[in-house]
Amino acid sequence: MVDFRLTNERFDVEWQGAPKRSVPRRGGRVRVLAPDDRGARHLLQGWLKHAAAERLVPKLMHLADDLNYSVARVAIRCQRTRWGSCRPAGP
């Protein structure tokens, strides 16, 4: 289960062994098609990063505009520590 709390979206994740790699989404279900579990994890991680960017970046840019902040770049990563940083003086 993948839960995007910001947008109240939930997706059931299913892995299916397949020679051709893809991540089709239909409604509330994401199917990860890959030949092995390592490839499936890599594909799912890529899909999650892309999905997070689609949902978070527009909201971040809107908030930054409302607060009159400039945002040089946004990076979506698989962090275990240091979830974010910013400096008032810029980069």
Task: List the domain boundaries for the chain.
Answer: 2-66
For 3-25, letters b (16+ CB in 10 Å) and e give eeeeeeeebebebeeeeeeebee
Read off the pTM.
Answer: 0.75
Residue 53 burial (10 A CB sphere; 0-12, 13-18, 19+): middle
- The mean predicted confidence, pLDDT, of the chain is 88
39/78 Cα distance (integer angstroms): 16
Question: Residues 52-63: what's their mean pLDDT?
Answer: 92
